[in-house]
A and B are shown apart, each in its own frame.
Chain A
Amino acid sequence: MKVLPTTNTDVSRSRWFRSWGYHAEFYAQTWRGSVASSVLFPILYLASLGIGVGHLVSHHTGLVDGQTYLHYIAPSLLATTTMQLGEGESLWPVLAAVKWVRTYHAAATTPLEPDDILMGKLAWVATRAFVTAVLYTIIIGCFGALQSWWCLTLPFIGTLVTVAFSAPLVAYAARSQSDASFSTLYRFAFVPMFLFSATFYPLSTYPGYLRPVVQFFPLYHGVALARAAAFGQGAIAAQLGHVAVLMAMATVGIAWGRRTMRRRLTD
């Protein structure tokens, strides 16, 4: 065999895209286990809560904000699903890649820079989020929950929610020494957020003094956006505000991640 030195200095194609391709190929090899959580669970939630609880709700209060209960929660489950995708892809897998298995360290010995590794990862997570959100939009469409052409923005909203969570969590995982804090995050941040972001009932249900707390949750903004898009209701200005909050999280997360990733991989 030949291993004679040959010069290959082709560093022309976007390097982050190579990292994206690596993730895509990895997923192509290992996707089977993850389908259940990304598509099946939301359907189960929708069926159980939307049809089961929805039945009770319709008997007691009738419509929720002018929607049947099933329709009311369908868009918010898109937001929670994409949030969970962002969480699941960003903590343990990244800690494994920088500490336990060190595959990011291996990648850092190739032409890739830490920024490329970070952006390839986030681009891949965004890709998965987009595909998941498209599937999910179709599913909730089948349940009759889409009432406006604005619903075409749902895949983008889902992707934005995922990246808004993924970017800061990747940054955090890249500077972690162990996963001890990860389950704490789930217990005290992600699960409460999932339950109390006006996910299952309107903000007006909460007592006045708790509403700012709910509105402080990042997921709340994703839920509000998804609902507005599905039903074509709500002021544009308010939606832009929600988008701005999520974009800000993503931007801060990326800036932080560039620092933590560089420090972790090149020191």
Chain B
Amino acid sequence: MSDSHILEAHQLVKRFGDFEAVRGIDVTIDRGESFGFLGPNGAGKTSTMRMISAVSQPTGGTISIFGLDPRTDGPEIRSRLGVVPQEDSLELELSVRHNLEMFGRYFDLPRRIVRERATELLEFTQLTERANDKVDNLSGGMKRRLTIARGLINRPEILILDEPTTGLDPQARHLLWDRLYRLKREGVTLIITTHYMDEAEQLCDRLVVMDQGSIVAEGAPRTLIERFSTREVVELRFMTDDHEEYFDRLSPFAERVEVLPDRILLYVNNGDDTLRDVHAANITPSSALVRRSSLEDVFLNLTGRSLTE
């Protein structure tokens, strides 16, 4: 394995009984990179995360993390990882600070070091003022930040985040993203799963799009958009119960047309021009919107389904 690859997975498979959650995926992640797994719920992201955090063993295939094998070196690998699971899994009855300090015990860090780091991390996650409050009384965004702080108590080389901003309000999400940028700048390798395409676009240098346990595309967000979508998208809504009936009439105006339950999408290079042409042809939508293509469109193109359905 080359020096710059901090993680390599080859033909990774995870089966639960008859159900194949992960179906032979290949992933290579470089040191310092911010890498994403994008896909809808049930795509196999969490199963993948649990394998690459050396917690669950693959049913098939191999993984190498820091050049080590999770089957034999699990504890050593995990001592160099930070994990932010989907559920915060904090001790609700204890204070914010105690949650951090006690977690440090699991890494066998000296008390003095843990105390110093806890203070730093509380500052970093902007929880200093709440240090002595019971976790139960924190907001969702604060709990999430504390879980991130907890994942950093051992100064990990890789921080693995599973759906870091699910359930947070926009302000809390942006604060969290800002903290993750900083970690990235400090050289921490980030591995993130998300079903939010904006999150993937914001945070990830490179990502894989997962669907039903397989990888359907891989690349930088912009590259994926350029490759699998047009520059712009026109979203049209009509006063109808079935947008399908507009498909034939709109097809000539776009490279590709997608019909969703509540709207119809035209994939084009210049949205304003297309919209003008549509109006000129006496087709009158009840609302129209021109926007740039996103990873959502990439996913729709590749799988025929929406990310958040």
Contact = CB atoms under 8 A, between A and B. Distances in A.
A32 to B, nearest CB: 11
A106 interface: yes
B36 to A, nearest CB: 19
Interface stretch (B154-162, B198-206, B226-234, B272-280): B154-162
Interface in B231-261: none
B69 interface: no
A105 B85 contact: yes
B79 A2 contact: no
Contacts of B173: none
Interface stretch (A23-31, A83-91, A137-145): A23-31
A10 interface: yes
Given A1-B120, A18-B105, A265-B55, A111 B186 contact: no
A9 B76 contact: yes
B123 A113 contact: no
A113 B70 CA distance: 12
A208 interface: no
Size range of the chain B interface in the assembly: 35 or more
Contacts of B306: none
A101 B89 contact: yes
Given A7-B80, A8-B155, A266-B56, A110 B103 contact: yes
Size range of the chain A interface in the assembly: 35 or more
A56 to B, nearest CB: 44
Given A26-B91, A106-B85, A107-B106, A3 B75 contact: no
B38 interface: no
B116 to A, nearest CB: 10
Contacts of B103: 106, 110
Interface in A17-39: 18-19, 21-22, 25-26, 29-30
Most chain B CB neighbours (cut-off 10 Å) among A3, A105, A267: A3
Contact of A101 (B75, B92, B108, B121): B92
A11 B75 contact: yes
B94 interface: yes
Contacts of B55: 108-109, 265-266
Nearest to B87: A102
A6 interface: yes
A8 B78 CA distance: 10
Most chain B CB neighbours (cut-off 10 Å) among A5, A19, A265: A5
A224 interface: no
Interface of B: 16, 53, 55-57, 74-76, 78-81, 83, 85, 87, 89-95, 98, 102-103, 105-109, 120-121, 123-124, 150, 152, 154-157, 183, 186-188
26 contacts: A1-B124, A2-B120, A3-B188, A4-B155, A5-B155, A5-B187, A8-B154, A9-B79, A12-B108, A18-B107, A21-B105, A22-B106, A25-B98, A26-B91, A26-B102, A29-B93, A29-B94, A29-B98, A102-B89, A106-B85, A106-B89, A106-B150, A109-B85, A111-B107, A113-B75, A266-B56
Interface of A: 1-13, 15, 18-19, 21-22, 25-26, 29-30, 101-103, 105-113, 265-267
